[in-house]
Structure 1
Amino acid sequence: MPTGNADEGLAVLQENAQELLDGLEEDSTGLGDALSTTVTLAQAHCLMDPRAAIFPTWDAWVTAMQVGSAVFATATATEGNVQCRIAHKDRTLRATGPQWYVHPGAWLTAFYLAVACREKDRITALCRIPLSLLRENGEQFEEHEYAWIDTLQTYWLGGQDLVAKLVSAVDGTEPEAVFDREAVSKLVYPPMEMFHRFIRKDHEGFNRALAQALELHKQYWSEEDRAVSIAGLVALAPLAMVCLAHDAGIPIEVESEYLPAVLIKRNWCGEFPT
């Protein structure tokens, strides 16, 4: 990806993100746009700082994580206000109930961000979000997405039938069951395989699955029409799986600029109130 105008691009993204964040107390339904913009900003920081070694990068990741949590904190409330800390400020947001942006993709993004930032309370809150809420946005999503979310929620909360739910999620990614076969095979299935190796405590298998996931991520985002997309700078789902594995004591033997090393090692955690 070209880096010549990176600083200018970051400045524009930062300005756009700040404008969206500043408007949330007046109109909390701006959280959908705020989530996509702050995630883009967090990933964009990794263009020049792929290890996430400097404070502004960590700050951007935390802000994105906070917005992801706020999406679901406000969506689960149907009246009144919700207090959310976002970008170093306690904000009073209005309850939104179900919205167009409250869907499986947003939940997974929020979950992956919370895992990368090691926000256990926020992860728990996300894992208590009923799947029924994610079906109320009026759009049609594929069943493997709901099955994958069910798997992650079950794992984190210590529920029953974890393996059966993972099998259901994996089965839902079969080519005949999905619309976008390339995206599912290269971006959606690989983290599931990593998770499978993780819960089996298969250290070698996990690292093999990680290497394969990164290779497929690279293939997908190297296509000509995607090669300059900021969304490809960080392999977010594999990053979350790596953070889970790292914290469980699995040695991570694969290094990649798609995986910010400082996020994996938790170096910035606790730096400021989140």
Structure 2
Amino acid sequence: MVTTVPRHKYSTDDVPDTLDALGETADWILDEFADSAVLRPQALSTALTLAQQRCAVDPQAVKFETWEAWVTAMQTGSALFAAAVAPEGTRVTCRVKDRERTLPATGPESHLNAGTWVTSFYLAMICRDNDRLRQLAEVPVSLLRDSGAVFDEYIYPWVETLQSFWLGRQDVGDKLVAAVDGTSPEALRYADADLMAKVLYPPLIVFYRVVRRDAAEFNKALADAVRWHKAYWTADEDRANHADGLVALGPLAMACLARDQGISVEVESEYLPRALLEYAWIGEIEY
């Protein structure tokens, strides 16, 4: 039985102008970010905002421009971490959008933190880029800690959970338990409890159901995750008008993983754009 979760109403009156401006900004940043310490921290967030905003008028991501925007966001996040782990004094060449970009090795930087890593990993899961997933899985957690960014402790075992899963290690269960334990209200020091409960925590439970290969419980957890996402992003007018709420990034990544593991996804929602979930644009863009 398919569960449907409609996306909340989102005004699209100004979206064409917004897309034009965002597209120009993103192109400029991507043309310059490789050698700019000022622009590098803005590159991923700008590319991801453009991808999310495209889903305002293309909720199922059926247009090529929407898929290209999601791939570009994925390429950007992965490139930043490739530069972070490169040997000091070297440069790395990474494809971003339509051409190769050469970035200097950076080591830890404030924007290369655990939150950015999770976002980048989710994007690579959505785009099914196994090479970039492996590269991200090999990023040392110590580099993320050395960013200086402040997070609740749960995020580090969550990073390790995803890394261990992708690299075939045997400690996935232990890492996931530690991550889940760290999301309890009494364990939180920095994250907003509502954000944790409705946005940050649900992907952990959906992931657990995927690795257990429990299709019924997976679909129940996925439906709950999408409903909680909707509840969070409709709690007030400001959130409802924010492009970040248009796609449930974490639940979408876990749904892509489930589908690729042979689990039928029985949740339909514009928060989970169908063309992204079904990898409909395979082979259309050079990664």
Flag whether TM exceeds 0.5 (same fold): yes
Are 2:36 and 1:27 aligned?
Answer: yes
Instruction: Map 1:13-162; keep pairs closer than 5 Å.
Output: 13-27=22-36, 30-77=39-86, 78-162=88-172
Aligned residue for 2:230? 218
> 2:122·2:250 contact (CA, 8 Å) conserved in 1?
yes
CA distance in 2, matches of 1:148, 1:68: 18
Aligned residue for 1:186? 198
Are 2:272 and 1:259 aligned?
Answer: yes
Alpha-carbon displacement from aligned partner over 1:221-264 (angstroms, at most 9, x marks no partner): 00213111110000000000000000111011110000010111
* Amino acid corresponding to residue 230 of structure 2 in structure 1: K
* Amino acid corresponding to residue 33 of structure 2 in structure 1: L
Please report how far the alpha carbon of residue 94 of structure 1 lies from its aligned counterpart in structure 2 after TM superposition: 1.4
Please report how far the alpha carbon of residue 71 of structure 1 lies from its aligned counterpart in structure 2 after TM superposition: 1.1
Match of 1:5 among 10, 14, 17: 14
* Amino acid corresponding to residue 146 of structure 1 in structure 2: Y
CA distance in 2, matches of 1:215, 1:6: 25
> 1:235·1:258 contact (CA, 8 Å) conserved in 2?
yes
Aligned residue for 1:229? 242
* Amino acid corresponding to residue 45 of structure 2 in structure 1: S
Root mean square deviation, CA, Å:
1.0
CA distance in 2, matches of 1:132, 1:25: 23
Please report how far the alpha carbon of residue 272 of structure 1 lies from its aligned counterpart in structure 2 after TM superposition: 2.2
> 2:34·2:40 contact (CA, 8 Å) conserved in 1?
no
CA distance in 2, matches of 1:91, 1:28: 15
Query: Which deviates more from structure 2 when the two are superposed, residues 22-31 or residues 57-66?
Result: 22-31
Instruction: Map 1:191-206; keep pairs closer than 5 Å.
Output: 191-206=203-218
> 2:110·2:147 contact (CA, 8 Å) conserved in 1?
yes
* Unmatched runs of 5 consecutive residues or more in structure 1: none
- Structure 1 segments, 4+ long, off by >3 Å, are none
Three-state SS of the structure 2 residue aligned to 1:257 is coil
TM-score, normalised via structure 1 length: 0.98
> 1:197·1:206 contact (CA, 8 Å) conserved in 2?
yes
CA distance in 2, matches of 1:119, 1:30: 25
Three-state SS of the structure 1 residue aligned to 2:33 is coil
Query: Which deviates more from structure 2 when the two are superposed, residues 198-207 or residues 174-183?
Result: 174-183
Aligned residue for 1:246? 259
* Amino acid corresponding to residue 34 of structure 2 in structure 1: E
Three-state SS of the structure 2 residue aligned to 1:166 is helix
Three-state SS of the structure 1 residue aligned to 2:77 is helix
CA distance in 2, matches of 1:126, 1:31: 18
* Amino acid corresponding to residue 212 of structure 2 in structure 1: R
CA distance in 2, matches of 1:2, 1:212: 25
Please report how far the alpha carbon of residue 24 of structure 1 lies from its aligned counterpart in structure 2 after TM superposition: 2.0
CA distance in 2, matches of 1:64, 1:31: 13
CA distance in 2, matches of 1:16, 1:113: 20
Please report how far the alpha carbon of residue 97 of structure 1 lies from its aligned counterpart in structure 2 after TM superposition: 1.3
Alpha-carbon displacement from aligned partner over 1:132-167 (angstroms, at most 9, x marks no partner): 000111222111011111101011101122111111
CA distance in 1, matches of 2:45, 2:32: 15
CA distance in 2, matches of 1:153, 1:175: 25
> 1:81·1:92 contact (CA, 8 Å) conserved in 2?
yes
Higher relative CO (Cα under 8 Å, sequence separation at least 6) belongs to: 2
